[in-house]
Amino acid sequence: MFKEVLQIIPQLSSGDLANMEKALGSRFTKIAKSFGKGLLATLTGGGVAGLALGLVDKLLNPLKEVQEAIDKTLNRGSDLAVQAKQFNTTAGELAKLQAFGQAKGLEPEAVNHLIEKFQSAVSEAIADPTKQTSVRQFTGQKDTAQAFFDFIQGLQKLDKNKQIQVQQEVFGEKQILRMSEFLNADFEKLNSKFKGISTEAITQKVEKVDNLDELNKTLGAVRGLKDFNDKADAMNKQMIVLRNEQEKRQLEIQNKQLSSYQNLQNIEAASTEILNTVKEGILKLTDIVLKLTHFTENFKKLMNSSWLRRLGLGSKED
């Protein structure tokens, strides 16, 4: 029974195994060479072009980053200048107040939102002198940002229940999370972190940047208007006619593709099926090679075992 089960094994001699190993090795060597040639072609052809473009992009990136930094600074300076006028304060004071907010995880826009709510409450108090409000004492203060800062410092001295009532009255709701942290911050301790940063100096820098931003916008407007004039001079009726013809050709191509949609869909489906078949074939080939390699090693061990040679089935080599 044992010989019947293993009747295929004696057909694979050590020489057969060696030939099989040699053939497989030759095939994988060819595949490796083909892959290497393809990789080399990629690098010496389109690959080099791609690398060159990548190099140019990296060389230009620093310039792009500088331009982005310039735009960011111009926008920041312009925003501070406009917001400071809205709150009748200096840009330096507002910038520092926003910095306090950022230190507590609150973005400048959120700080501005709180100041706007406070400003509205003060305006209502001015409009109605008989109205009972928590911001009555700030109606005569011109600097809204400073008045807001004084208000939230006084708010901290109230008990929690009174704080909630005042917050709901002035801001329309109880402030939670980051806003609550900001309203209850230790500003004296927080201010000590900003030593050496003068609000007067910041105000001067904002004014400088705001002027540069105005110049930038003016030059951009002049450039845009001149460009419109230049393009208007260069354009003519023939350009429009030619462009129309081009658009018509593109539409004709689209319509042909639309009429052949089913064929294109079939081609796409067939391509996908072929690709999936190739992938499955590669996976199966890999599995077969691994199993064959494992089988070959085990078979060699089996053929070289002493007890199998005693049955007359083992390899005579060794």
How confident is the model over 97-113, as a mean pLDDT?
89
pLDDT digits (tens, 9 = 90+) for 217-240: 999 999 999 999 999 999 999 999
pLDDT at position 48, please?
52
Is pLDDT larger for residue 227 or for residue 38? 227
- Among the listed residues 102, 97, 188, 88, the one whose alpha carbon sits nearest the alpha carbon of residue 143: 88
279 within domain boundaries: yes
**pLDDT at res. 318:** 46
pLDDT of residue 152: 86
190 within domain boundaries? yes
Both 115 and 184 in one domain: the answer is yes
Residues 106 and 173 in one domain: yes
Question: Is residue 21 very low, low, confident or very high in pLDDT (cuts 50, 70, 90)?
Answer: low
1-15, 68-82, 189-203, 229-243, range with the lowest pLDDT: 1-15
Q: Please report whether residue 3 resides in a domain.
A: no
Residue 25 falls inside a structural domain? no
* Strand, coil or helix: 305: coil
Percent of the chain clearing pLDDT 70 (strictly above)? 70
Give 107 or 186, the one with higher predicted confidence.
Answer: 107
pLDDT of amino acid 240: 94
Last residue of a domain, one of 174, 208, 242: 208
The Cα 95–Cα 79 span in angstroms is 10
Residues 104, 199, single domain; the answer is yes
3-state helix, strand, coil in the chain (%, to 5): 80, 0, 20
Mean pLDDT value of segment 128-143: 86
Domain co-membership, 257 together with 172: no
Average pLDDT over residues 247-258: 88
**For the CA atoms of 293, 296, 298, 304, what is the dihedral angle to 10 degrees?**
-150
The tally of domains found in the chain comes to 2
* Mean pLDDT to the nearest integer, 174-194: 79
Domain endpoint, select from 151, 175, 208: 208
Are the beta carbons of 133 and 223 closer than 8 angstroms? Answer: no
Integer distance in angstroms from the first to the last C-alpha of the chain? 27
Domain that holds residue 279: 233-318
Q: What angle do CA 145, 146, 152 make, to 5 degrees?
A: 90
Judgement on whether residues 77 and 182 belong to the same structural domain of the protein? yes
Q: What is the CA radius of gyration of the chain?
A: 40
Report the largest interatomic distance among the alpha carbons of the chain, rounded to a whole angstrom.
118
- Residue 5: pLDDT band (50, 70, 90) is very low
Q: Over the stretch 269-288, which tens digit does the pLDDT of each residue have?
A: 777 777 777 777 777 777 67
Residue 217 in domain: no
Q: Please name the helix (run of DSSP H) or strand (run of DSSP E) that holds residue 142, with its range, or none.
A: none
Query: Is residue 89 located within the same domain as residue 159?
Result: yes
* 237 and 204 in a common domain: no
Name the amino acid, one letter, at 79: D
Indicate whether 237 and 126 sit together in one domain. no
The 3-state DSSP class for residue 135 equals coil
Q: Clarify whether residues 192 and 241 are in a common domain.
A: no
Same domain, 93 and 200: yes
Are 181 and 315 found together in one domain?
Answer: no
Distances (CA, A) of 272 to 25, 262, 278, 282, 285: 31, 15, 10, 15, 20
Q: What does the pLDDT average to over 107-117?
A: 90
Task: State the pLDDT at residue 43.
Answer: 46
In a domain, 34, yes or no: no
**pLDDT for res 300:** 62
User: Quick check: is 213 in a domain?
Assistant: no
At 3, is the pLDDT very low, low, confident or very high (cuts 50, 70, 90)? very low
pLDDT band at 306 (very low <50, low <70, confident <90, very high): low
In this structure, the answer to whether residues 176 and 268 fall within a common structural domain is no
